């Protein structure tokens, strides 16, 4: 019982996934619809062998000849078409084929008192098409009412009429329960699939971020740099990197402890994100080293970025009132590999440190 109630809760997501399951319905319906259309023309040619139902088949084929091109037209424009129109066309065909089955039953009552054609088509519709319970109830209920009203006009034996009504009612009720179960299963499947996708995206994002600073980690920022290098090669655009290192960070750790060092790294990362304006282009390269990737830029712009970051660090305070400073090495991409590209920036960073820190070196 708990499982049933739990599954019924998924019906609350019906509207959220109506376009998804309607697209699935069209993908299922169209090949079956075209096959049935072809088969019915073949049956029409030999209708005399099938209890003389040629007229009914012809009427149904004319109906399909008009409706099928409209369905195919809107299927091609599925994403831009109102869901109401898409569902209306779908249910027009489904109701049409069920009424076709009812008409076949009516026209053969003088030969056979069976109603299996009506039942088979109803079961087929409920097995292939995912319909919300209210909508499937309307389709099945309307066709059942039409059958109840029409059968006495074609079958004179009242006992057979009552038996056919009872059989069709029970069978259609079972078909409706089947339709409801399949729909709930599909909505549940869509919901769980979306949840899985969301969890995978979340885990992927976590795997790309440095846990302490919430910016890109080393592997992620190197992947971004590699992508930007490929883009620069294709588009013939400039690409620059800035390799940064917090000055005297080891002394801060040794003198004030690692908690203070962590605080400096976190605040420095925040200033870095504020300066660049895009978290995806900033990464923690290792320890107190950070890497900025700057597509389509020049040396002047990168120097202005460094100066802006350098000025913002005055707001980071440590217990002895010492100001946090940073040194940087800048490099422009010159159609080399990623290792040599970073090595050039690293060498210039080392030169900036040698010159007295709080400096930026951008050329050899």
pLDDT single digits (tens) 43-53: 888 766 656 67
pLDDT of residue 46: 77
Q: For the chain, which residues make up each domain, given as ranges?
A: 2-202, 218-361
Structure tokens at 256: 């004030």
Structure tokens at 253: 């750790």
Rg (CA), the chain: 35
pLDDT at 349: 94
Quick check: 110 pLDDT over 80? no
Over residues 301-317, the mean pLDDT reads: 88
Nearest alpha-carbon partner for 159 in 151, 149, 171: 151
How many Å apart are CA 156 and CA 307, to the nearest integer? 97
State mean pLDDT over 331-360. 92
Q: What phi and psi, each to the nearest 5 degrees, are found at residue 121?
A: -65, -40
Q: Which residue has the higher pLDDT, 219 or 44?
A: 219
Which uninterrupted H or E stretch holds 332?
A: strand 326-332
Contact yes or no for 225/293 (Cβ under 8 A): yes
Mean pLDDT score of the chain, rounded to an integer?
Answer: 88
What is the C-alpha to C-alpha distance for residues 144 and 130, in angstroms, rounded to an integer? 19
Fold designation for 218-361 = Alpha-Beta Plaits (3.30.70)
Please, what's the b/e burial string for 94-118 (b: 16 or more CB within 10 A of its CB; e: otherwise)? bbebbbbbbbbbbebbeeebebebb
- What confidence score (pLDDT) does residue 5 get? 46
Write down the pTM of the prediction: 0.67
CB distance 22 to 42 below 8 Å: no
Q: For 16-63, how does the pLDDT look when each residue is reduced to its tens digit (9 = 90+)?
A: 888 999 999 999 999 999 999 999 898 888 766 656 678 888 999 999
Mean pLDDT, residues 130-140? 93
Say which residues have a Cβ less than 8 Å from residue 95's Cβ, sequence separation at least 6.
139, 142, 143
User: What confidence score (pLDDT) does residue 295 get?
Assistant: 92
Percent of the chain with pLDDT over 70: 94
Strand order in the sheet with 360-361: 282-286, 289-295, 239-246, 326-332, 360-361
């Amino acid at each position: 019982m708990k499982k049933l109630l739990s599954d019924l809760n998924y019906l609350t997501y019906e509207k959220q996934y109506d376009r998804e399951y309607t697209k699935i319905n069209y993908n299922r319906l169209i090949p079956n619809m075209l096959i049935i259309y072809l088969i019915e023309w073949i049956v029409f040619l030999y209708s005399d062998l099938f209890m003389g139902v040629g007229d009914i088949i012809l009427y149904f084929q004319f109906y399909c000849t008009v409706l099928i091109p409209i369905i195919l037209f809107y299927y091609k424009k599925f994403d831009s078409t109102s869901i109401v129109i898409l569902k209306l066309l779908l249910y027009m065909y489904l109701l049409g084929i069920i009424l076709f089955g009812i008409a076949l039953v009516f026209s053969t009552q003088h030969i056979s008192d069976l109603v299996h054609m009506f039942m088979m088509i109803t079961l087929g519709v409920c097995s292939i098409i995912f319909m919300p319970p209210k909508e499937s109830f309307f389709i099945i209920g309307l066709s059942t009412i039409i059958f109840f009203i029409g059968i006495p006009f074609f079958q004179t034996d009242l006992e057979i009429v009552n038996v056919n009504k009872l059989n069709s009612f029970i069978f259609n009720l079972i078909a409706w329960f089947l339709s409801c179960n399949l729909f709930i299963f599909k909505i549940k499947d869509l919901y769980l699939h979306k949840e899985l996708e969301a969890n995978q995206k979340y885990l992927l994002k976590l795997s790309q971020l440095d846990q302490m600073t919430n910016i890109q980690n080393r592997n992620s920022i190197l992947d971004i740099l590699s992508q930007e290098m490929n883009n620069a090669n294709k588009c013939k655009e400039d690409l620059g990197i800035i390799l940064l290192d917090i000055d005297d960070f080891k002394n801060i750790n040794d003198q004030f402890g690692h908690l203070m060092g962590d605080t400096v790294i976190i605040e420095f990362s925040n200033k870095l994100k504020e300066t660049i304006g895009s978290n995806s282009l900033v990464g923690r390269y290792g320890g107190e080293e950070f890497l900025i990737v700057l597509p389509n830029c020049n040396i002047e712009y990168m120097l202005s970025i460094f100066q802006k970051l350098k000025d913002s660090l005055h707001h980071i305070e440590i217990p002895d009132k010492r100001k946090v400073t940073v040194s940087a090495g800048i490099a422009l991409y010159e159609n080399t590999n990623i290792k040599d590209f970073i090595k050039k920036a690293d060498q210039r960073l080392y030169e900036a440190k040698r010159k007295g820190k709080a400096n930026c070196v951008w050329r050899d």
